[in-house]
Amino acid sequence: MKGGIETMARGDTKRQFKAGVCGQSGVVAVEATSSRSFSRHTHDQFGIGVVMRGAQDSASGRGEVRATPGNMITVNPNEVHDGRPVAGKAREWRMLYLDPELIAQTAKAMGYSVGVEFIHPVLQHPSAVTAFGRLYAALTRPGQEPWHEILEQELFQILPPLLGDARSTHVELLSKELSRAKERIDAHPEIPVSLAELAAEAGLSRFHFLRIFKAAMHLPPHAYRLQRQLQMARRLIMTGHSLLQASYLAGFADQSHLTRHFISNYGLTPGSLSHSLRTQHLSVTE
């Protein structure tokens, strides 16, 4: 894999993450072995992966699920989810995170409307798993490849069972008040905004605004903004900004503040992603 490697050992618990940039732009590959429990978080990309060994329970926007070896696992952009190892035992998985534009383009070519989302957080589908294995191998091995052609070819095999028969656009209906609050946070997640400010703009009490925002977004406003900050920092790192620059521009107090939340949400440090971009190969032991 073209990317960074992190290994963390505490007692008899070993956690290893390999994160790297693929030959195809807009795709990040992650290979992990971990007994860590991940708190509720989001990604701004589609995630498609396979559990290699062990098992995981998770709460997603599509329900509580358990994934076991051979299962395909997915996450939609901005879907709130977590992850917990079954019986505290390490599980191993591989993931590809793909920009929404890539999925939209491929789905459109297959006859789906723009805005479709994955309907299965966990799926047993051997042929899709096999296609994922081919795609992961192609995108993470060295060499010059027709990346776009390979990506499209394999996604044509992977996406149908994940999208199902739904051909219409998924529309998330929010009140005008909530839409304005969400758009304000989305536009500038690096700028702090208080609950009182958001509630006042919506013409609601702080209590009522908090209740309806959390019901709609599955996160309170401060946690929602943190997810947007992390996504902003990741994009900045991916476009060549230093960790210090990414921390500052995304509104974190300092680099250690970013790192702490990055590890908690994604399981790896932002440094491993930054190093993978600069060197294409890194081994870090913490």
Radius of gyration of the chain (CA): 19
- Predicted confidence band at 79 (pLDDT cuts at 50, 70, 90)? very high
* Domain(s) of CATH 1.10.10.60: residues in the chain: 176-266
Q: Burial-class residue 96 by CB neighbours within 10 Å (0-12, 13-18, 19+).
A: buried
- The residues, ordered by sequence, that sit 6+ positions from 59 with a Cβ below 8 Å of its Cβ are 40, 81, 82
* pLDDT tens-digit readout, 271-281: 887 877 665 43
Inter-residue contact 30 to 18 (CB < 8 Å): yes
Confidence of residue 204 (pLDDT cuts 50, 70, 90): confident
Q: What is the pLDDT of residues 27-37, one digit of tens each?
A: 889 999 999 99
CA–CA dist 245, 142 (Å, integer): 30
Give pTM, 2 decimals.
Answer: 0.77
**Mean of the per-residue pLDDT values for the chain?**
84
pLDDT score, position 169: 40
**pLDDT for 230-284, tens place per residue?**
999 999 998 889 999 999 999 999 999 999 999 888 877 888 878 776 654 333 3
* Residue range 38-64: mean pLDDT, rounded: 93
pLDDT of residue 122: 96
Would you say residue 141 has pLDDT above 70? Answer: yes
Please determine, looking at this structure, whether the domain spanning 3-163 carries the CATH number 3.40.190.10.
Answer: no
Q: For the chain, where do the domains classified as CATH 2.60.120.10 start and end?
A: 3-163
Structure confidence at residue 143 (pLDDT): 64
For 176-266, which CATH class? mainly alpha
Q: Please state the rounded mean pLDDT for residues 152-180.
A: 76
